[in-house]
Amino acid sequence: MPKQVDHRERREAIARALWRVVEQRGVTHLTLRVVAQEAGISLGQLQHYFASRTAMLSFAMDFASERTSLRVAQGLEKLGDHPHPRDVLRLTLMEMLPLHADARATSRMSTAYVLEALHDEAVHEQARHGLTRGRALVERLVRHAIADGHIAPGRDPATETNLLLALTGLTPLIELNVIEPRDALAAIDLHLDRLFDGNDRRA
Amino acid sequence: MPKQVDHRERREAIARALWRVVEQRGVTHLTLRVVAQEAGISLGQLQHYFASRTAMLSFAMDFASERTSLRVAQGLEKLGDHPHPRDVLRLTLMEMLPLHADARATSRMSTAYVLEALHDEAVHEQARHGLTRGRALVERLVRHAIADGHIAPGRDPATETNLLLALTGLTPLIELNVIEPRDALAAIDLHLDRLFDGNDRRA
């Protein structure tokens, strides 16, 4: 196996160990020592891959974003060659909410990451970059949906995009069992219904 | 000064020290030792008030909720005797977003608190109780607004409430400077416009 691939795989195995720590014990226990233990390697070996907790968290966050994109892409495949933008948005939003184990780990890590970003300039830059890029993808989708007549031309793409991303605000309600997952889906569907209201060309 | 009041004031002073730690250094630095230092008391004195980090965080969270309610109440006073439900909701949502120092500290603490709740049953119960109560207040407001003809009768109060609370999902976008505070306000106003659309009795 080429060394490059091995290195990448080792880092991914560490990222998965980090996920398990976040999922099972919580982000307050997320230290290099605990992750090394969970990954079954020594602290020294872990430090060979990540010089700091922040570096480890950054990689895990990137890896989580990739995994989320992959899950969205897999979901899109099932929607056929020309998926309706409403379905694409629904799928994306559902993968951003803590509705299954992988999405839950990503969601919790991402929350911890934003908190960390507030007091670390490098993390702030990376997190800001990631969220800006994700936001741009959603806005492009909204603009296309307007251009294609799926969403009314009078809608402001930027504000509609912010309202779509705001739906991740259902997260604490789900995590604390204040509402059921089906309530979250009902809210998302109602919001999407209104966004595509009167312009939805689906049969 | 009665001992009861003195005790309460001391706890509030500690809660404020805790806020400063959250605001200036971040929740990962939130330990009994750091808060004692910030409050200018010994660790032993702090432990006289709070037996654990969790107990301290719980009190600080309750205190933050009280402060938020107070800010909303003060805002409501300015709206006169019969404030429009749209203005009440707007005020409430604005105090839930990190748009000024106090609201920012509360928002960050609340995020940390939810993360903590996921791995501590007692915190989970308290956080769930607090959010359920807050959610119920908003739903009651929505139901009254429907009964009073401010919101269309066909709207589902429970789902509309979840969508209103979801607007706190603008938080990471604001905290990471991906959008400006005015963009967040535009999104809130657009959402409220639609909720009250065609039924808004204001002049």
- Of the candidates B110, B159, B169, which has its C-beta nearest A168's C-beta? B169
- Which chain B residues contact residue A28 at CB under 8 A? 28, 115-116, 119
Q: Which two tokens stand for residue B183?
A: 């963009």
A63-75: average pLDDT: 89
Q: Which two tokens stand for residue A6?
A: 């091995």
Cα separation values, A178 from A52, B16, B58, B133, B159, Å: 36, 28, 18, 10, 13
- Which chain B residues contact residue A187 at CB under 8 A? 159, 162-163, 166
Question: Cβ distance A127 to A117 under 8 Å?
Answer: yes
Phi/psi for B43 (5° steps) reads -60, -40
Residue A176: partners with Cβ closer than 8 Å, 6 or more residues away:
B114, B117, B124, B127, B128, B131
- Of the candidates B114, B166, B190, which has its C-beta nearest A175's C-beta? B114
The one-letter amino acid code at B79 reads: L
Distance in angstroms (rounded) separating the CA atoms of residues A41 and A35:
9
3-state helix, strand, coil in chain B (%, to 5): 75, 0, 25
Residue in chain B lying closest to A166 (CA): B169
ipTM of this complex: 0.90
User: Which residue in this structure is represented by tokens 């999407």?
Assistant: A192
Residue A2: partners with Cβ closer than 8 Å, 6 or more residues away:
none
Residue in chain B lying closest to A124 (CA): B176
- Which chain B residues contact residue A114 at CB under 8 A? 111, 172, 175-176
Predicted pLDDT of residue B203: 36
- Which chain A residues contact residue B139 at CB under 8 A? none
Question: Cβ distance A67 to A106 under 8 Å?
Answer: yes
- Which chain B residues contact residue A165 at CB under 8 A? 169-170, 173
pLDDT classification of A141: cutoffs 50, 70, 90: very high
Distance in angstroms (rounded) separating the CA atoms of residues A186 and A188:
6
Q: Is the pLDDT of residue A57 over 70?
A: yes
- Domains in chain A with CATH codes: 1-51 (1.10.10.60), 54-195 (1.10.357.10)
Task: Note whether A170 contacts B166, CB cutoff 8 Å.
Answer: yes
Which is higher by pLDDT, A116 or B124?
Answer: B124
The one-letter amino acid code at B159 reads: T
User: How many cross-chain Cβ pairs, A to B, lie less than 8 Å apart?
Assistant: 136
pLDDT tens readout for residues B88-112 = 999 999 999 999 988 988 898 888 8
Residue in chain B lying closest to A190 (CA): B159
pLDDT tens readout for residues B180-193 = 999 999 999 999 99
Predicted pLDDT of residue A203: 36
Predicted pLDDT of residue B3: 61
Distance in angstroms (rounded) separating the CA atoms of residues B98 and B108:
8
Task: Note whether B26 contacts A166, CB cutoff 8 Å.
Answer: no
Distance in angstroms (rounded) separating the CA atoms of residues A71 and A103:
9
Question: Crossing angle, helix B181-195 and helix B85-96, to 10 degrees?
Answer: 150
pLDDT tens readout for residues A8-41 = 888 888 888 988 888 888 777 788 999 999 999 9
Q: Which two tokens stand for residue B88?
A: 């009440």
| Closest by CA position to B167, among listed A131, A186, A189, A166 | A166
Half-sphere exposure of residue A163, counting CA atoms within 13 Å on the CB side? 26
The one-letter amino acid code at A37 reads: Q
Centroid of chain to Cα B165: 11
Distance in angstroms (rounded) separating the CA atoms of residues B17 and B36:
8
Predicted pLDDT of residue A63: 84
Residue B79, helix vs strand vs coil = coil
**Closest CA–CA distance from residue B5 to any residue of chain A (Å):** 33
